[in-house]
Amino acid sequence: MRFRDRAILVTGASRGIGAAIAKAFAAEGGTVIVNYRQDAEAAEGIAARCRAAGGEALAIAADVTSEEAVAAMAERIGEEVGRLDVVVNNAFAPYRFDPDRRARFPDVPWSAYERQFEGAVRATYHVCRAMLPLLGRSSSASIVNLASDLVTRPSIPYHDYTTAKAALVGFSRNLAAELGPRGIRVNCVAPGLVSPTEASAATKEEVREMLIAQTPLRRLATPEDVAGPVLFLAGPDGAFVTGQVLHVDGGLVMA
């Protein structure tokens, strides 16, 4: 039980990758804060599954792009949980991985980039700033940010999404350099296309097959495939790892 007596915040945890990560931490004895924006029923369902898996869980609504909402969430975690050891920044702005309908660069408005920066960078910025006092009390604190292998290998040019994730990697490495002396580690997990998720539902079968054929392990990632590496980076086995980007895409990116 690697995360017994440890508290973990997972943003965007009511479904998909975030839900899989939350349940994986709970199965290792963790107390999981299931952050969500709107779907209270889904979040409470994930919290119940976390408790059934052997951990404790608390669902908290907060729009992570809002400084005020994130501050209120931090206050509630401090009051109701009393500690925080791990932050997983998984939430991102809504996006559809649809190669046929993606906007080509001349047609991508700057506002599209802004939306993705809001979801990827601004949200992570607010969460890290608000949770830093709580993390600072932990003897082995860790932040794991969800990036994308598209930053290294833009198999399909999703300009706005990938640019925001590249900025998130830069943000994470600077944070790792600054917080390392305080004993707080910061890393990224960079998945390839993950299925099934709501974002990947629009990806056509021929594109999936193309990616599978180029992937040494010959399949797409599942949400559970992403959860394991997140736990590695957050836990004792990754205690001397910081400032890194771990690609989780079956070998599509080798770096």
pLDDT at 204: 83
Return d(Cα 154, Cα 158) in angstroms, integer. Answer: 8
Residue 149 inside a domain? The answer is yes
Q: Which domain, by its residues, includes 184? A: 7-248
Residue 33 inside a domain? The answer is yes
Give mean pLDDT, residues 2-24. 97
Mean pLDDT over the full length of the chain = 96
Return d(Cα 210, Cα 41) in angstroms, integer. Answer: 36
Which residue in 135, 137, 141 sits closest to 233, CA to CA?
141
Residue 225 inside a domain? The answer is yes
pLDDT in tens, 61-108: 999 999 999 999 999 999 999 999 999 999 999 888 888 889 999 999
pLDDT at 100: 86
How many folded domains does the chain comprise? Answer: 1
Residue 165 inside a domain? The answer is yes
Residue 160 inside a domain? The answer is yes
Question: Is 151:190 a contact under the CB 8 Å cutoff?
Answer: yes
22: pLDDT strictly greater than 80: yes
Residue 255 inside a domain? The answer is no
Residue 253 inside a domain? The answer is no
Return d(Cα 203, Cα 223) in angstroms, integer. Answer: 16
- Catalytic residues, which ones? 161
Domain harbouring 212, CATH code:
3.40.50.720
Give mean pLDDT, residues 20-46. 98
Question: Is 216:175 a contact under the CB 8 Å cutoff?
Answer: no
Residue 203's pLDDT band (cuts 50, 70, 90): confident
pLDDT at 80: 97
Residue 220 inside a domain? The answer is yes
pLDDT in tens, 228-243: 999 999 999 999 999 9
